[in-house]
Structure 1
Amino acid sequence: MPSTSREDGPRDDASHDDAAAPTSSPMGSVDKALLALQELSAAGADGIALHDLAQRLGLNKTSLHRTLAALRFRGFADQDPASGSYVLGPAATALATSYHADENLPRLMQNALTALCALTDELVHLGVLSGAEILYLDKVEPARPVRVWSAVGRRQPAATTGLGRAILSRRTVDPASLAWFAGDRLPADRLAGILAAARADGYATETEENEVGISCLAVPLLRDGAAIAAVSITAPSDRMTPARRTALAATVARELPALLPAGVSLPAELG
């Protein structure tokens, strides 16, 4: 009688492999290298000696030395010639830079933008500084019969937008650069005051400076203390009262940190 055929060999279906998280690393040598990278990152610029690193990881020094040699070969680790301590290499920092690059931010921030839109019931934008302008990378808007117009890819002067002011408030801007950003849109000394207030508050505001009847509140996204982007909440001016701004800033401070990608934070002044 004919029999029903069945596959007894290994299946190549990734969806089955990902059904349950493994309880231990499936590849010890890779795990060892990743653990070493984590410790090197925590050690910072001073680095860490081989003996200390082996103790922290509970690994044999000879085996760990081979792992570090492989990391050095690919540029993920380096060794100080004077002290012998190991530090992160340029390849590791390049990965972090690529991870937070402008083109990757919309994907990393999608959950945060969606949640913030749902919490505030207002239009939410993600933007980055591009020259003297803000480039809008992404937006999430609530379902309303009448909506605030905006578009991904749009550019606006940084000096007159909440997004631009939020980012500039966390950067060192010399007088010449300040005048360049201000241009003929507003006096440079006024922009300086706006940025100082934004830095003190942890957020920036804009009231009808780009569109009549529209205002916004924006918060910078920080990496190692420097602003890499900003998130804004945009609404009709009649809804953006001083009390509402205070409430929105509190909502951002309370809800957004847990939704941010690794390595990104909000200003401590925000709350």
Structure 2
Amino acid sequence: MDTSATDGASPMGSVDKALLALQELSAAGAGGLALAQLAESLGLNKTSLHRTLAALRFRGFVDQDPVTGNYVLGAAAAALSLAFFSDENLPRLLQNALVTLCAQADELVHLGVLSGAEILYLDKVEPARPVRVWSAVGRRQPAATTALGRAILSQRHIDPATLAWYAGRHLPTDRLAEILSVAQTNGYATETEENEAGISCLAVPMLRDGAPVAAVSITAPSDRMTPPRRTELTRIIASELPALLPPGVTLPAALVTSW
């Protein structure tokens, strides 16, 4: 029986060599690494590694700086990352997180992303009990008036003109600025009956390299979304969600460290 996959050895050395090279170049950043540096770091023969890098260059996963000669990550490597965190793939990546959060909170949970000045709802998980909330995947709402949108916008550096564009006719620009400032401080955003009478939401942004890629919200009738209940929901999110997020995705430190 082939035990190479379980005894610590790679089942295919040539592929493993290429993957190790990509990992090392990713850590090296924009400056990249010279062939000798990369070979020494990986403990590999330069000639063999050069052939591996040539194959990676052919497929666009590695480039070579024309000035320094250093090897750097190529566009194809970046494209893999973009595809992994694409709007189409996020529901799959976060399905377990949404299901667990819904079960723990016993409330409707949404996943949304920013699309222009709106929030696009990518996924939802409903609790067993009735929530009296209408929602649909694919629905759009103004980002400025939704907890999902506010959570995402609170983690961006937005100039006054762009902030006014997000605010639009929905609310005064200075009011939106105040809301986003509070959300940034808290690590989560809220909304009370601004999109539907009797309905309130609490949302947290999900960050990758410090930038928001999406947000998750908990939606409930306003009579259940009391201040103590909001406190309890933020505790659930801060304690349960981090371990369920994909590698490289985090919650705001302001939220996690508060618990």
Return the TM-score normalized by structure 1. 0.88
Q: How does 1:218-233 map to 2 (within 5 A)?
A: 218-233=203-218
Give the match for residue 56 of structure 2.
71
The answer on 1:91 being equivalent to 2:91 is no
Give the match for residue 171 of structure 1.
156
The answer on 1:215 being equivalent to 2:205 is no
Give the match for residue 55 of structure 1.
40
The answer on 1:114 being equivalent to 2:93 is no
Helix, strand or coil: the match of 2:250? Answer: coil
Tell me how far apart the structure 2 counterparts of residues 212 and 247 of structure 1 sit (CA, whole Å): 23
The number of residue pairs the alignment matches comes to 253
Which amino acid is the alignment partner of residue 219 of structure 1? Answer: V
Give the match for residue 12 of structure 1.
none
Which amino acid is the alignment partner of residue 79 of structure 2? Answer: A
**Residue 182 (structure 2) aligned to one of 190, 194, 197:** 197
The alpha-carbon deviation at position 41 of structure 1 amounts to 1.0
Tell me how far apart the structure 2 counterparts of residues 204 and 145 of structure 1 sit (CA, whole Å): 24
1:127-155, Cα deviation, whole Å (9 max, x unpaired): 01111111100000110145422111111
1:38-64, Cα deviation, whole Å (9 max, x unpaired): 111111122222223222222111111
Which amino acid is the alignment partner of residue 221 of structure 2? Answer: P
Sequence identity (%): 77
Which amino acid is the alignment partner of residue 28 of structure 1? Answer: G
Which amino acid is the alignment partner of residue 76 of structure 1? Answer: F
**Residue 264 (structure 1) aligned to one of 239, 249, 259:** 249
The alpha-carbon deviation at position 163 of structure 1 amounts to 0.3
Runs (4+) of structure 1 exceeding 6 A deviation are none
Return the TM-score normalized by structure 2. 0.92
Tell me how far apart the structure 1 counterparts of residues 31 and 57 of structure 2 sit (CA, whole Å): 17
The answer on 1:137 being equivalent to 2:122 is yes
Q: Which runs of 5+ in 2 are unaligned?
A: none
The answer on 1:188 being equivalent to 2:173 is yes
Tell me how far apart the structure 2 counterparts of residues 253 and 60 of structure 1 sit (CA, whole Å): 46
Asked if the contact 2:154–2:184 (Cα under 8 Å) also holds between the matched residues in 1, the reply is: yes
Asked if the contact 2:131–2:220 (Cα under 8 Å) also holds between the matched residues in 1, the reply is: no
The answer on 1:44 being equivalent to 2:29 is yes
Which amino acid is the alignment partner of residue 200 of structure 2? Answer: S
